[in-house]
C-alpha cells in the first residue's frame, strides 16, 4: 500500500454518505483556495497526523458496524494513485466508498471509477466567478469534466452548491440548476453558507445568507428542474 496523508478522521456519521453509516477520512492537500473554506488546516499537502496503517486496522475493526467510508479533504484525489490504492483496499473490506470532491482531477476520477461508489461533487459558482472564489482559473472546466466523467459512469452522485452570497446570486443558482438539468443530473443539494473566516470588509448578513431559502418562486423553479433537490438550511 502506498502511503496517503490523512489529516483528520470522523469515526461515525449519518450525513456524509446517503443512507449509510460511515466514517470520513480527510486527506491533506487541495489545489483550490476557496474564500469560504472551513478546513484551511488541510490545504497544504503536508504529512497527516494519522498513520494510514493504523487507520486501516481501525477500519478492519469497524467491519459490520459501519457501511461506508468517505474520502474528503482538502481534495482527496490530489493524492492520486496513493488515494485510489487505499480506497481499493478499504473497499475490499466490504465498505462502500464515497468521495467528496471539488472535481479538480477528472483524469484521476476516471481511474477511480471502479473503486468509488458514490460522489458528492461541489459546483461552486458560475464559470465567471470560479477564479475569484477558488483562486484557480481552470477549476470550473475541470469540475465540468469530472461531472461528465461521473455522469458517464452511471453511478450515484449528488451535486452540491453552497450559497455564499458574496459569490452566488439567485439568478446564478437558477443558471447552475438549468445547466445541471440539461446534463441530466438528478440529485442536487443546495446548502446554506455558514461563515467561518470572513474578512472584515467582506461579511455577510443572515438575510443575505437566507435569501435563497425563503424565495418560494426560486425553490419551485429549481425543484421543477431537478428530480431530487435537497435544501440544506
Ligand atoms: S475545495 Fe474544499 S477544501 Fe479545497 S479550498 Fe475549497 S472548500 Fe477548502
Is 195 part of any domain?
Answer: no
Give the pLDDT confidence score for residue 148 in this predicted structure. Answer: 97
Domain count, the chain: 1
Q: Tell which atom from ligand 1 comes closest to the C-alpha of 30.
A: 4
User: Is there a contact between 94 and 125 (Cβ–Cβ < 8 Å)?
Assistant: no
Helices 139-153, 170-183: inter-axial angle, 10-degree rounding: 40
Question: What is the CA 16 to chain-centroid distance, rounded?
Answer: 10
The answer as to whether 61 is a domain residue is yes
Q: Counting atoms of ligand 1 from 1, which one is nearest the CA of 33?
A: 5
Evaluate whether residue 215 is within a structural domain. Answer: no
- Whether residue 203 lies inside any domain: the answer is no
* Nearest of 73, 82, 69 to residue 30 by alpha carbon: 73
User: 144 in a domain, yes or no?
Assistant: yes
Range of the domain at 54: 6-173
Mean of the per-residue pLDDT values of the chain: 95
pLDDT at residue number 198: 64
For the segment 57-115, what is each residue's pLDDT rounded down to a tens digit?
Answer: 999 999 999 999 999 999 999 999 999 999 999 999 999 999 999 999 999 999 999 99
Q: How far is the CA of 30 from the centre of ligand 1 (A)?
A: 6
- 150 within some domain: yes
Query: Residue 232 above 90 pLDDT?
Result: yes
CATH of the domain at 71: 3.20.20.70
Is the predicted pLDDT of residue 133 greater than 90, yes or no?
yes
pLDDT average, residue stretch 176-197: 94
Closest ligand 1 atom to 36 CA: 7
Instruction: Please say whether the beta carbons of 29 and 5 come within 8 A.
Output: yes
Query: With contact defined as beta carbons under 8 Å apart, do 29 and 73 qualify?
Result: yes
The verdict on residue 116 lying in a domain is yes
pLDDT at 200: 60
In short, whether 35's Cβ falls inside 6 Å of ligand 1 is: no
Give 3's pLDDT tier (boundaries 50, 70, 90): confident
Does the structure show a pLDDT above 70 at 159?
A: yes
Strand arrangement, sheet containing 187-192: 6-13, 22-27, 68-72, 96-101, 118-122, 156-163, 187-192, 228-232
Question: For position 201, what pLDDT does the model report?
Answer: 65
In the prediction, which pLDDT does 46 show?
80
Per-residue pLDDT, 139: 97
Q: Sorting pLDDT into bands at 50, 70 and 90, what band is 196? A: confident
In a domain, 77, yes or no: yes
Report percent pLDDT > 70 for the chain: 97
Q: Is the predicted pLDDT of residue 229 greater than 90, yes or no?
A: yes
Of 2, 23, 5, the closest CA to residue 13 belongs to 23
| Residue whose C-alpha is closest to residue 78's, from 152, 142, 151 | 142
Amino acid at each position: 500500500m502506498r502511503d496517503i496523508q490523512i489529516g483528520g478522521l470522523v469515526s461515525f456519521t449519518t450525513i456524509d454518505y446517503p443512507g449509510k453509516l460511515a466514517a470520513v477520512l480527510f486527506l491533506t492537500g487541495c489545489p483550490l483556495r476557496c474564500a469560504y473554506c472551513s478546513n484551511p488546516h488541510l490545504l497544504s499537502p503536508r504529512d497527516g497526523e494519522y498513520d494510514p496503517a493504523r487507520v486501516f486496522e481501525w477500519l478492519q475493526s469497524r467491519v459490520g458496524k459501519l457501511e461506508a467510508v468517505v474520502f474528503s479533504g482538502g481534495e482527496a484525489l490530489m493524492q492520486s494513485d496513493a488515494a485510489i490504492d487505499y480506497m481499493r483496499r478499504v473497499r475490499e473490506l466490504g465498505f462502500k466508498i464515497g468521495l467528496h470532491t471539488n472535481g479538480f482531477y477528472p483524469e484521476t476520477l476516471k481511474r477511480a471509477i471502479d473503486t468509488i461508489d458514490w460522489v458528492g461533487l461541489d459546483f461552486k459558482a458560475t464559470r465567471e466567478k470560479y477564479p475569484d472564489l477558488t483562486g484557480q482559473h481552470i477549476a470550473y472546466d475541470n469540475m465540468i469534466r469530472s461531472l461528465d466523467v461521473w455522469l458517464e459512469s452511471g453511478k450515484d452522485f449528488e451535486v452540491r452548491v453552497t450559497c455564499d452570497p458574496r459569490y452566488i446570486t439567485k439568478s446564478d443558482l437558477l443558471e447552475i440548476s438549468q445547466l445541471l438539468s440539461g446534463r441530466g443530473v438528478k440529485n442536487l443539494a443546495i446548502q446554506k453558507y455558514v461563515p467561518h473566516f470572513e474578512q472584515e470588509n467582506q461579511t455577510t448578513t443572515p438575510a443575505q445568507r437566507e435569501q435563497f431559502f425563503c424565495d418560494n418562486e426560486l425553490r419551485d423553479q429549481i425543484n421543477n428542474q431537478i428530480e431530487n433537490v435537497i435544501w440544506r438550511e
